[in-house]
Amino acid sequence: MSATGTPASAPGAAPVSGPGAAPTPGPAAPPAPGAAASPAPAPGAAFRYEPFPDIDMPLPARLGQFPRQPDIATDVARAVGGPLAAAFIRSQFRFEVVGTVPDVPRLALMPNHQSHLDALAVLSMLPARFRRRVTVLAARDYFFERPAPALLASVLWGAVAFDRRSRLSELRRWTRVLRDTPDGWFLVFPQGSRKTTALHAGLPLVLARSGWPVVPVALAGTAEAWPVGARVWRPFRRIRVTFGEPVEDAGTRDLLDVLAAFWAQHGRIDDTPEGRT
C-alpha cells in the first residue's frame, strides 16, 4: 500500500507531519536521488499519510479543540442542534435586541457573564448565517472534562475549550492559534466566570492584538432568567441583548474600560422602565 514511482519514499517511513497540516499543499516532493533519468514525479504521486492529530485524545478534549478537526457526525449534530437550541431559547424568553453586528470576517463578541443562558442568548439573537461563524470559548474545567457537558456545549452552542486555569501557556497557545486563523467570530466572556465581575485582561487583549475587532455586548435579564445556582431556568423573563459599536485597534487596556463602561450602562434590565421599545 505504498508508493510507486518515487524510489526514495520508503513505505512505512512516511513521517507523521504536523497537526492537521492541510492535505493539499503538495510537498513539492523532495527530489529523489536516481529520479533524474525518469520524469519528475508529479506532486502528490507518493502516498503520504497524515493521521488526524486528535487520535489519542479522549472525546471531551476532541470536542473542545480549536482549530477543529473535520467530523461528519458532530458537524451534522451542530447543523441541527444549533438552530434548535436557538429556537428553543427564543421561545422561552421575551427578547429585545438593541444594535446590530457588522458583516465582517473577523469579530470578537464580548458579553458580560451572569448566567448559563448568556452564550445561547447572544447566539440566538444573531442571524443564522452569523451564528454559524461563532466559536464560543468555554471553560475547559467546567465543560470539557466529561463527555456529556462537552457534547452539549459543542453541539448546542459550538463551544471550544479554553483553559482558564493555566493562563499564560494557554494565552500563548491562543496567540499562535489566532496567528494561523484567517477568519472567524469568537464569543468570549472576559469575566471568565458567572460568579465574578472582575475582568481578565488576557484573552481579550490577545484577540484584540491579533486583529480581531471587539464588539461589546451587554446582557440584561439573564441573571434573573437563570440565576447562578438555580437548577432550571425561569421562562418568559425579559432578556435584553445590546450590541455595541466595534472597537478597532483596541490593543491597550482601554478595551477593558470600554467593556466595563458598556456593561455598566446596558447590563441591567430595569433601566428601561417602560419595558418594551
Q: Would you tell me which residues interact with another protein (CB under 8 A)?
A: 1-2, 11-12, 14-16, 23-24, 26, 42-45, 47-52, 55-56, 58, 70, 72
Residue with smaller CB distance to another protein, 145 or 224:
145
Measured from the CB of residue 213, what is the shortest distance to another protein in angstroms? 31
Residue with smaller CB distance to another protein, 147 or 251:
147
Residue with smaller CB distance to another protein, 45 or 152:
45
Measured from the CB of residue 23, what is the shortest distance to another protein in angstroms? 5
Measured from the CB of residue 234, what is the shortest distance to another protein in angstroms? 40
Burial 25-51 (b: 16+ CB within 10 A, else e): eeeebeebeebeeeeebeeeebebeee
Within a 10 A sphere around the Cβ of 118, how many other Cβ atoms? 25
Distance CA 242, CA 150 (A): 28
Residue with smaller CB distance to another protein, 54 or 224:
54
Query: At a CB cut-off of 8 Å and minimum separation 6, what does 91 contact?
Result: none
Residue with smaller CB distance to another protein, 61 or 97:
61
Distance CA 277, CA 275 (A): 7
State the burial class of residue 175 (Cβ atoms within 10 Å of its Cβ: 0-12, 13-18, 19+): middle
Residue with smaller CB distance to another protein, 1 or 198:
1
Yes or no: say if 193 and 139 are a contact pair by the CB < 8 Å rule: yes
Residue with smaller CB distance to another protein, 12 or 273:
12
Measured from the CB of residue 178, what is the shortest distance to another protein in angstroms? 23
Measured from the CB of residue 209, what is the shortest distance to another protein in angstroms? 31
Distance CA 176, CA 178 (A): 5
Measured from the CB of residue 131, what is the shortest distance to another protein in angstroms? 22
DSSP secondary-structure letter at 89?
Answer: H
Measured from the CB of residue 61, what is the shortest distance to another protein in angstroms? 11
Distance CA 144, CA 57 (A): 12
Residue with smaller CB distance to another protein, 14 or 77:
14
Within a 10 A sphere around the Cβ of 79, how many other Cβ atoms? 11
Measured from the CB of residue 18, what is the shortest distance to another protein in angstroms? 12
Distance CA 232, CA 226 (A): 7
Cell of 210: 491579533
Q: Is the peptide bond before 67 cis (omega within 30 degrees of 0)?
A: yes
